[in-house]
Structure 1
Amino acid sequence: MITGAIDGGRCRWRAVASCGVSGLRWRGGYGRLWSAAVLSRFGDSVRNVALPVVAAGLTASPLALSLVSAAGYLPWLLFGLLSGALADRVDRRRAMWIVDAVRGGLVGAFAVALALGYAHLALLVALSFALTTLQTLFDNAATAILPTLVPRAALPTANARLMTGQAIAGTFLGAPAGGLLVTAGVAAPFAVDATTYLVAAALIASLPTASATATVTPAKATGSTLRAEIAAGLRVLWRDHLLRGICLANLLGNIVIGGLTALMVLIITRWAGASDVVFGLVLAAYGAGATVGGLVSARVGRWLGGARALVLALTVQTACLVVIGSVAHPAATACALGLFGVAGMIVNVHAVTLTQQRVPVELLGRVSAAGRTVGIVGAPVGAVLAGALAEVSDVNVPTLASAVVMASAALVVLRAARSARLVQV
């Protein structure tokens, strides 16, 4: 396997005989963190199925419905960097379980409001905004706490298993369950989601205290401010060639994903010619691919190394976009989406792993927050650009344009890896 050791802020890569997977144990902290993450993803998927149903029942205005969606993006832009700094200041274990407990309370209160007939669109927007705001702190703390629970050599496998479990829980369990629960009443999915948050909070609260203590930053120097700490995280991200390249590639990739998601129903039905029944099957291919990607990503990383795995996966995604945009057939679209999902999971696993391996643990919250905040900008931008381009051309043209953007992302990572001397020139 190829593994990394941090030395003076720079990761030196070397070949080792063992894969380091033996250092990953389900018992103890990792198993509880995995269980909490998978359970939360199940609940989120249940809620995400019910959310548009509730919103559509409250208003028929497309603009009003878009506000609910926008409320899910805005907190990352407003609070992403701040949450990263806070995640490096506080006991991360405590922050995570408190956040989940609060989210459980908020969603539970909304379920009660729905059951009593007091729901309002403004309440739905406020809930979406509040949940995502809390998520900014939770996600940054979760990224930073994982390296304290498993050996660094086992991080690729730990991340892969975590993301695979979430993909299965969200795509194959949560989404169908959400559809069934909606038929029992619109409040039911939210009650289930609230329960998963509370159970996840209990699991996280039971994590070993040593892991939480290890993630707390040493006492701040006199005069240290959140602004200065955020700036320190940004400097670390900017000065690391590979992480800077991954951050830019993440932005470009999210532009592609945003556009693809916005036009997916038109691409599959209008361009590929799928029926409404086939539409769901084609769309499910992506989730299946993501699950397979989670199963093979650690092995691909051991074979190629994390940086090369990123370049290969982004190149594969580029080819998939070309197929989706040029072959008008449901089977071709399904195969391409499935392979796109495989490659996407490999990208996610190794982008997170490389960040965890290359950044000191006391800075992980801020650095991961900076990368997420930059990347999240791409999704709404991509959606708008793809929609505008489709208006003046055809629905497949934005997908072909996205292939160029994704190819650029692959080149960015390749160049960054060469600068970091992880790939030979």
Structure 2
Amino acid sequence: MSGPATADEAPAEETAARARVPAWRGGFGRLWSAAVISRFGDSLRTAALPLLAASLTDDPLLIASVTACGYVPWLLFGLLGGAVADRVDQRRAMWAVDLVRGVLMAGFALAVALDHGTIALLLVLAFLLTTFQTLFDNAATALLPAVVPRETLAGANARLMTGQQVAGGFLAAPLVPALLILGASAPFAVNAATYVVGALLIASLRTDSPDRAPKTAGGTLRAEMAEGMRALWRDSALRGLSVATALTNIGMGALIATLVLHITGWLDAGNSGFAAAITAFSIAAVAGGLVAPRLAVRIGRIRSILVAGIVQTCALVALGTVRELWAAVAAMAVFGAMSMVWNVNQATLVQERSPAEMLGRISSAFRTLAIAGAPFGALLGGLVAGTWGLNTPALLAAGTFTLAVASLGALIN
């Protein structure tokens, strides 16, 4: 697995093979459907939650805290989720987690319908959902190579992420205002139902168990988590990419936590403007998903991520300086397209460079390091927005992306 940072820059023929897409049969179609349906529900919640938080308080720091609580479990349980994912039946873990999340969301929807929604409840919900997500996401990353041939991983990741963006942004975000007419609890009730449907689809998958090396006598989850961290750190490409992603996530945490205030407050564009910005991000991300594998064929995975980071930095500068809704929508569209280029190639790089029996632990180590800056960024975004203006989190994000681009540049010989 270890090697020079440019090991992913394979010959054109080999990289082109990796850009092939998988067949819908053999389980990928059901896995894709489960992922897309779940993202649809998650996006309803993601779009509605800050609006609900903003209706309960006008304190930027409290609103940002809701986002921060959605990141903290990765720091506490991310490595544990990866070690568990390498030990258990990943398919079974995924559908069980989805059922639990469905129950949690149904309870929250009921609380909101009965006017018992509070900031404290939002914080608890965000923390619990992400705690379960640490196991679900690591299991999903490890399961995909068991469902599709290894040479189609890039195409599979592109189809998964593109489908999720279509459902989550193009379909879900514009639907939120309509659902809110039915009641503040409606988006959360639909989210609960999507978890149940996703669980049923995942439970119907039939996959072979991955080959795993026998556990050593006295082996513990703690030792296995440490092994995953060491394996990640020995690979210079994955190590450098995890550091760069951590830097970008500081900025992303600040931006996401305060975007509703940026659009509805600084731009005075209201809830419809917020929905338009999110929709633009998601529609453009679909195009980014189509471009991502092809761009990797031409210039390599790490260079594709580097290009994406440079363009995203420019979009964030425009978002934070031009006080017009059209400029914000355009900036979010560019940012969305390049986010997909980054994410598809990042996920594929981790899967390609990790042994199957350690993929859960390596992916969890990567995610934990990468996400580490997000809760700090969310709180920092709330502080700078309240101190220097609602547009400053976007400029803060541009600064952290600049640092990430600089660190990625060092990986290119």
With normalisation by structure 2, the TM-score equals 0.87
In structure 2, how many angstroms separate the alpha carbons of the residues matched to 1:233 and 1:301? Answer: 26
Which of 350, 374, 377 pairs up with 2:372? 377
What are the residue-to-residue correspondences of 1:85-104 with 2, within 5 Å?
Answer: 85-104=83-102
Other-structure match for 2:36: 38
- Higher relative contact order at CA 8 Å, sep ≥6: structure 1 or structure 2? 2
Which amino acid in the other structure matches residue 14 of structure 1? P
Give the CA deviation at 1:84: 0.9
Deviations 1:222-273 (A, max 9, x none): 01111110111000111111101110111111112122234435655676x5
**Equivalent in the alignment of 2:306:** 311
Match of 2:403 in 1: 408
Aligned residue in 2 for 1:3: none
Q: Contact (CA 8 Å) 2:70, 2:130: kept in 1 or not?
A: yes
Once the two structures are superposed, what CA deviation does each residue of 1:120-178 show, in whole Å capped at 9, x if it has no partner?
66555443322211111000110111112122221111111111111111112223333
- CA gap of 1:402–1:178, structure 2 versus 1, over 3 A, is closer
Measured after TM superposition, the shift of residue 117 of structure 1 is 6.6
Moved more, 136-145 or 392-401: 392-401
Q: Which stretch shifts more, 376-385 or 228-237?
A: 376-385
Instruction: Report the AA paired with residue 363 of structure 2.
Output: S
Q: Partner letter of residue 71 of structure 1?
A: C
- Name the CA shift for 1:150/1:286 in 2 (closer, same or farther; >3 Å): same
* 1:106 maps onto 2:101 in alignment: no
1:332 pairs with 327, 339, 347, which one?
327
Q: Does 1:322 align with 2:317?
A: yes
Q: Give the match for residue 148 of structure 2.
A: 150
Q: Sort the Cα spacing of 1:183 and 1:395 in 2 relative to 1 into closer, same or farther, 3 A.
A: closer
Give, in whole Å, the separation in 1 of the partners of 2:45 and 2:387.
Answer: 35
Are positions 1:83 and 2:81 aligned together?
yes
Unaligned runs of 5+ in 2: none
2:327 paired with 1:360: no
Instruction: Please tell me whether the aligned partners of residues 70 and 126 of structure 2 are also in contact (alpha carbons under 8 angstroms).
Output: yes
Q: CA RMSD in A?
A: 3.0
Which amino acid is 1:333 matched to? A
Aligned-pair CA distance for 1:358: 0.4
Give distance in 2, aligned partners of 1:295 and 1:375: 24
Structure 2: distance between partners of 1:119 and 1:386: 24
In the alignment, what sits opposite 1:421? none
Where structure 1 has 5 or more consecutive residues not aligned to the other structure, the ranges are 1-5, 419-424
Q: How does 1:184-203 map to 2 (within 5 A)?
A: 184-203=182-201
Name the amino acid aligned to 2:308.
Answer: A
Q: Contact 2:42–2:168 (CA<8 Å) still a contact in 1?
A: yes
Q: Is this contact kept in 1: 2:64–2:258, CA < 8 A?
A: no
Give SS of 1:209's match. coil
2:178 aligns to what?
A: 180
How far apart, in 1, do the equivalents of 2:43 and 2:129 lie?
Answer: 14
Q: How do 1:232-311 and structure 2 match up within 5 A? A: 232-265=227-260, 267-268=262-263, 275-276=269-270, 278=273, 280-311=275-306
* TM-aligned CA distance change 1:323 to 1:144, over 3 Å: same
Q: Which structure has the greater CA radius of gyration?
A: 1
Question: Does structure 2 retain, via aligned residues, the 8 Å contact 1:168–1:291?
Answer: yes
Deviation at 1:95, TM superposition (A): 0.7
Equivalent residue pairs, number: 408
**8 Å contact 1:144–1:364 — kept in the other structure?**
yes
> 1:75 touches 1:136 (CA, 8 Å); kept in 2?
yes
- 8 Å CA contact 1:9, 1:358 repeated in 2: no
- TM-score when normalising by structure 1: 0.85
Cα deviation, residue 108, structure 1 = 2.7
Contact 1:156–1:301, Cα closer than 8 Å, also in 2: no
Give the Cα–Cα distance (whole angstroms) in 2 for the partners of residues 125 and 401 of structure 1.
24
